[in-house]
Chain A
Amino acid sequence: MSKFKLKRIGLVASVILVLVIIGGIFFGINAQKQQLKGTDKLQTVKETHTMRWGVKCDTRLFGLIDPKTGESQGFDVDIARAVTAQIAKDQGTTIKPEFTPVTTNSKIQLLKNNQVDAVAASMTITPERAKVVDFTKSYFPAGQSILVKKGSPVTSIRDLNNPKYTVIGIMGTTALDTMKKFAPNAKVIAMPDNSQALSALESGQGDAITTDNAILYGLAQQSHDTQVVGKPFTNQPYGLAVNKGQASLRKAVDRALQETIDNGTYNRLIQKWFSNIPGLDWRELTK
């Protein structure tokens, strides 16, 4: 093979390689946009007979992996199951729920990426998030609170407003922003997940964890050394979420959620998960 010929082959091959990469990216972006615009998720769910839910895997009471089954279990998961069953009933078909574990930081990304159809992952309804996803009405009345070691001098959020205290938050939650409003002088650190936040508190890297009260009750249940103090100081209800622009799916989920509340399933699930939490009267949560 002559040198000249080889040179030409090399050049053509390189150009093709570069074009394939760049073309692939553009084609992919466009195809994805078209697909997201065109598809009605409710229709897809009905056709595939599966509804893919993003649920937590590290949150006691809401979504925590049970080694016996290898699946997440908790209030979120049960609500997702009940809602899926109700949608199936409403639509006159069968739908199987499928669960993908998500982290606090990844839940919205996975929803936007179409890797899940809906999210039930103790997610607070905020105007900021509502710009990118569509929420149903609230399914759990959460509010921010603080968890401290037993015997800590901190008894309320006000006590934390002091530079000698370090408050632990969880990455990707809204809790630390709120915290800064109530206790601007406290130092803050962010942990990637709840269990690491708890070990940080237990090991003395921080003086308090702040996040939704319900999650803190789960942590308090897990570690006998800690307790939730003070009343929740915010109102941050949890909502189920679907991707922006999926109006029919959101309506179907909303309707199913209301029916689950009306037929008493909701209250049964509240009792199942929250009746033996010290300091929490589960009846306050029923609808």
Chain B
Amino acid sequence: MSGAFSTSNVQYLLKGLGVTVGVSIISIIISFIAGSVLGIILYEKVPYFTKTVRLIVNTIRNLPLLLIIFFTYFALPKLGVELNAFSATVFAMSVFEATMVAEIIRGGLLSVGIGQTEGALSTGMNKVQTLWYIILPQALKRSIPPLISQFISLVKDTSLATAIVLPELMFRSQVIYGQNPKYMVPMFITIAALYFVVNYSLSLLAKWFDKRLV
């Protein structure tokens, strides 16, 4: 079979879906862990330290992700950090999304509230125990729906790595329609559908959590 959906083209494209999903999963795990730590620092208001971290987090949050990707791939090697397109994408996405996650976790912690902290402290738990056993689990639970929305953005944003020639879904569709302009429309429909299926399932998951938590 030839044309836009020849066997080799389909296989090539599906491998791209694998790269997209792979980059997404690794970045989600790293940014969730790093973002949670940052979120706790932002919430805890350690003198000076929280302000310093807030400055860094706000700076990164307010930059275009594309800029961070370019910076990681082209500028960080000047500091001796050698990265290929895949690790550069994972690094840039993890740093950027961690700051987003931090803000969500901080919001979750705030919403659980001071009342709970006081109650727990009065039972004789220390501050760290209170945070770890009482506040954080509830805050994480409340943060699940906004976190999932953020991770949907993350999946979509992996397409930006096309700019540094990461062979993910978007890039591969361009390679295929580069063979023949007639393949353009079928390719756009296909990748839109693939992204939609992945992200819409995630958003249904978010809605399900939303209902269960209320």
Residues of A within 8 A of B (CB): 1, 6-7, 9-11, 13-14, 17-18, 24-25, 28-29, 31-32, 35, 57-58, 64-65, 67-68, 70, 100-103, 106, 109, 113-115, 195, 199, 202, 222-223
- Known: A58-B175, A67-B11; 19 extra A-B contacts, CB below 8 A, are A10-B49, A17-B52, A25-B79, A28-B78, A28-B81, A32-B77, A32-B78, A57-B175, A58-B178, A67-B8, A70-B12, A70-B15, A101-B165, A102-B165, A103-B165, A113-B78, A114-B82, A115-B77, A202-B181
Say yes or no: A115-B84 contact (C-beta < 8 A), given A64-B178, A101-B165.
Answer: yes
Specify which of A13, A103, A199, A222 lies most central, judged by the most chain B CB atoms within 10 Å of its CB: A13
Cβ < 8 Å to A, chain B residues 28-52: 46-52
Check A35 against B178 for contact (C-beta < 8 Å). Answer: no
The 4 closest A-B pairs by CB, nearest first: A28-B79, A67-B12, A113-B77, A10-B47
Chain A contacts for B81, CB-based, 8 A:
28
Partner of A35, one of B48, B53, B80: B80
Q: Is the CB of B80 within 8 A of A17?
A: no
Q: Which of B157-181 contact A (CB under 8 A)?
A: 164-165, 167, 172, 174-176, 178-181
Cβ of B188 within 8 Å of any chain A Cβ, yes or no, is no
Q: How far is the CB of B54 from chain A (nearest CB, A)?
A: 11
- Asked if B9 is at the interface (CB within 8 A of a chain A CB), the reply is yes
- Chain A residues, Cβ within 8 Å of B179: 67, 222
Residues on the B chain within 8 Å of A195, using CB: 174, 178
Contact across chains for B50 and A10 when beta carbons are under 8 A apart: yes
Chain B binding surface, main DSSP class: helix
Instruction: Give the distance in Å from the alpha carbon of A114 to the alpha carbon of B77 in the complex.
Output: 8
Residue pair A109, B74 in contact (C-beta under 8 Å): yes
The docked-state distance in angstroms from the alpha carbon of A115 to that of B74 is 9
Chain A contact residues, majority secondary structure? helix
Interface residues of B in 58-108 (CB under 8 A from A): 74, 77-85
* Complex-state Cα separation, A68 to B81, whole angstroms: 32
User: Of B8, B80, B174, which is in contact with the most chain A CB atoms at under 10 Å from its CB?
Assistant: B80
A109–B13 Cα distance when bound, in Å, is 28
* Pairwise interchain contact B46-A6, C-beta atoms closer than 8 A: yes
> What are the residues of chain B within 8 A of A35 when measuring CB–CB?
80
Q: List 24 A-B contacts (CB under 8 A).
A: A10-B46, A10-B49, A10-B50, A13-B46, A13-B48, A14-B49, A17-B49, A25-B79, A28-B79, A31-B79, A32-B78, A57-B165, A64-B178, A65-B167, A67-B9, A67-B176, A102-B165, A109-B74, A113-B78, A114-B82, A115-B77, A115-B83, A222-B180, A223-B181
Tell me if A11 and B178 are in contact (CB < 8 A): no
Size category, B interface: 35 or more
CB contacts (< 8 Å) of A64 on chain B: these are: 178
Q: CA–CA, A31 to B78, complex, Å?
A: 9
Nearest-CB residue, chain B, relative to A199 = B181
Mark interface residues in B169-205 (1 if CB within 8 Å of A CB, else 0). Answer: 0001011101111000000000000000000000000
Q: Give the chain A neighbours of B127 by CB distance below 8 A.
A: 1
Which residues of B sit under 8 angstroms from A114, Cβ to Cβ? 77, 82
Point out which of B8, B83, B176 has the most chain A C-beta atoms below 10 A from its C-beta.
B8
Chain B minimum-CB-distance residue to A58: B178
Q: Do A106 and B15 form a contact, CB below 8 Å, given A28-B79, A28-B81, A32-B79? A: no
How near does chain B come to A222, taking the closest CB pair, in angstroms?
Answer: 8
CA distance A68 to B51 in the complex (A): 52
The residues in B between 8 and 22 inclusive whose CB is less than 8 angstroms from any CB of A are: 8-9, 11-13, 15
- What is the bound-complex CA distance between A202 and B181, given in angstroms? 10
Contact with A along B129-163 (1 / 0, CB 8 A): 00000000000000000000000000000000000
Q: Do A67 and B52 contact each other (CB < 8 Å), given the known contacts A115-B77, A199-B181?
A: no
B42 vs chain A, min Cβ distance (A) = 13
